Amino acid sequence: MTLQIKSIEQYQEAYDKSVEDPEGFWAEQASTFLWRKKWHTVLKNDFITPDVQWFVGGKMNITENCLDRHIATRGDQDAIIWEPNEPDEPSVHLTYRELLAEVNKCANALKSFGVKKGDRICFYMPMIPQVAIAILACARIGAIHSVVFAGFSANALAERIKDSQCKVVICSDYNRRGPKNIPVKDVVDEAVSMGCDSVEKVLVFQSTGGKVMWEPNRDVWWHDAIKGMSKECAPEIMDSEDMLFILYTSGSTGKPKGVVHTCGGYMVYTSYTFMNVFQYQEGDIYWCTADVGWITGHSYIIYGPLLSGATTLMFEGVPGHPDAGRFWHICEKHRVNQFYTAPTAIRALMAAGYNAPNSYDLSSLKVIGSVGEPINEEAWHWYDEKVGRGNAPIVDTWWQTETGGIMITPLPGITDSKPCFASYPLPGIQPCILDANGIELTGNEVEGLLCIKFPWPSILRTTYGDHERCRSNYFAAFPNMYFTGDGAKRDTDGRYRIIGRVDDVINVSGHRIGTAEVEDAIDQHSGVVESAVVGYPHDIKGQGIYAYVKAHHEVIDEDHFRREILAVVTKEIGPIAKPDIIQFVSQLPKTRSGKIMRRILRKIASGESDSLGDTSTLLNPECVEELKAGALV
């Protein structure tokens, strides 16, 4: 099992070793796992092409490490505890032994469909145990999972299915989210009908028993598929560098890209970080509230905890259902020891029930975490006082879909937790801050672009089907560096504070959204000439979406037009990308080369019209007054 850092001295020692001898450091960590064949080379380090490989030549299967390896020592321990949407329904417990049997049955069912190593399988699922079972079933047989958040629209789902040519889609009939019951199978039907010719089977878990359409040659009920399937399924032996999964995420330009993670390095890094960041102890109950459609769900609901032999809690519902005490009720009910959530949830719960945590026994909590976006000071203090209550330090964890695992974070009880600071890099992570010219700003009290100088085991390997995009996005801005897209500061003690994205990505309720995608969606409306989308500070969501829209004709009924635009965005992407504010304009500010000057739009949307800076380089400086006068903030 992964070694845990227990003191500041051990942290310093591990960190120093990871920099002086990264290969030795990671080889030691990797040797705690089950390998069918040992690697011959620890690291291939090429940040230019890029071509990064870890544990090269090693053979393994991640599910053997998540499941089989634990049967002898913890076969009867809960692997997953599932808490349903409705608090009065019973929770479900799956032991490691039971989980392995379910995974194998599902793996055999997938095999019976003809799924083979390397095939891509798309997921569009609610937060139910079957999502974990099916993800592990894919990994068992070497199929590559591509989980799509079940809040995306049919269009967005179809785009992702086509990009990676998925052979099977796994979904449920419905998805219960608080008071809503969303017909997800309908969305899958619609998506598949949009030219997803690669899809041979749709595997449907009956979650609510609601009515669905049925395509007999294509659709298979989960319960029928696993009927009679063996509980044994030999794991496919994978190369360390074989793909484990694809996860689509937004960038500053174009369509979402499929971030690719591979088996060996991802396994070592997610487990190492899980054990250290949450200081998980034998018997603890760990709960991460993320959705499995995002990287946090992959790394810290499923893989990291199960690799570490932990008990991981999954929750089907939403924080406010039936009331703002639900999270705290679940913590009390299951005696949760580590709790990991997003600032947007913290802010929403703080607003809806400032004193709600007081009514619950939260004494089991030992560590509380935050992820996905900067946490503001007020929310940090509320979380610390009302939820942590002096017993549970906050770990403000910074990382990304592309990094696979947590990169910069306090270690609870080991390094101090300072409000709004992700603090120190984990062993193996070598961050640096660059100025706009790519010059490294050494010393403390500096601010600039956050880059990472050296590979770590779970760094993305490529973007699916388009390696050049991976190179140009992350490795081309500054030679020999991974560029994060985030801005950061370092304080006098060397702690990092993440400021936010420096590119055209915005972070809405912890969801990454590319402004270009939202613009493309808005522009689909026949009445729209062009649009520009920027983020602006939002009390609950962190950032809200502000859209400036230029219409073909004078807009008579603004509200009606706004509703139509929201409908188009919902159809193209999903409700999470709906603009909060739409301002109609007669022109957008353009540079002489025809580019939209977003700096000005961002300032106006943020209520900072007084500090627009130099606008004289605009092609159409006269538009600025109109933009300011029409601002809706």
Contact footprint for ligand WTA (CB under 6 A): 249, 294-296, 371-374, 396-401, 422, 484-486, 498, 500-501, 507, 512
Burial class (CB in 10 A: 0-12, 13-18, 19+), 22: buried
Structure tokens at 410: 């306090």
Residue 58 or residue 510: which is nearer to ligand WTA going by CB? 510
Secondary structure in 3-state letters for 453-497: CCCCCCCCCEECCCHHHHHHHHHCCCCCCEEEEEEEEECCCCCEE
Least gap, CB of 472 to ligand WTA (angstroms): 17
> Residue written as tokens 């990304």?
400
**Which is it for the CA torsion 135, 137, 138, 140, positive or negative?**
positive
Nearest residue to ligand WTA, using CB?
401
Least gap, CB of 18 to ligand WTA (angstroms): 21
Least gap, CB of 586 to ligand WTA (angstroms): 33
> Residue written as tokens 């359409």?
213
Least gap, CB of 404 to ligand WTA (angstroms): 10
CB 464 within 8 A of CB 257: yes
Residue 256 or residue 309: which is nearer to ligand WTA going by CB? 256
Displacement of CA 270 from its chain's centroid (Å): 13
Residue 407 or residue 600: which is nearer to ligand WTA going by CB? 407
Residue 374 or residue 589: which is nearer to ligand WTA going by CB? 374
Q: How many CA atoms lie within 13 A of 90 on its CB side?
A: 2
β-strands 285-288, 338-341: how paired?
parallel
Side chain identity, residue 302: I
Residue 256 or residue 372: which is nearer to ligand WTA going by CB? 372
Least gap, CB of 471 to ligand WTA (angstroms): 19
Q: How far is residue 576's CA from residue 569's CA, in Å, rounded to a whole number?
A: 9
Least gap, CB of 457 to ligand WTA (angstroms): 17
H-run or E-run covering 609: none
Residue 207 or residue 400: which is nearer to ligand WTA going by CB? 400
Q: How far is residue 127's CA from residue 182's CA, in Å, rounded to a whole number?
A: 13
Residue 33 or residue 398: which is nearer to ligand WTA going by CB? 398
Does residue 479 have a cis peptide bond before it, meaning omega lies within 30 degrees of 0? no
Least gap, CB of 311 to ligand WTA (angstroms): 22
CB 146 within 8 A of CB 116: no
Residue 343 or residue 589: which is nearer to ligand WTA going by CB? 343
Q: How far is residue 51's CA from residue 448's CA, in Å, rounded to a whole number?
A: 26
Tell me how far apart the terminal alpha carbons of the chain are, to the nearest angstrom.
53
Least gap, CB of 153 to ligand WTA (angstroms): 19
Residue 63 or residue 338: which is nearer to ligand WTA going by CB? 338
Least gap, CB of 37 to ligand WTA (angstroms): 32
Residue 192 or residue 498: which is nearer to ligand WTA going by CB? 498
Secondary structure in 3-state letters for 322-368: CCCCHHHHHHHHHCCCEEEECHHHHHHHHHHCCCHHHHCCCCCCCEE
Residue 176 or residue 512: which is nearer to ligand WTA going by CB? 512
Q: How far is residue 580's CA from residue 518's CA, in Å, rounded to a whole number?
A: 12
Least gap, CB of 537 to ligand WTA (angstroms): 14
Displacement of CA 436 from its chain's centroid (Å): 27
Least gap, CB of 355 to ligand WTA (angstroms): 26
H-run or E-run covering 208: none
Residue 145 or residue 176: which is nearer to ligand WTA going by CB? 145
Side chain identity, residue 236: E
φ, ψ at 397 (rounded to 5°): -100, 120
Least gap, CB of 487 to ligand WTA (angstroms): 9
97 Cβ neighbours under 8 A, 6+ residues apart: 71, 75, 76
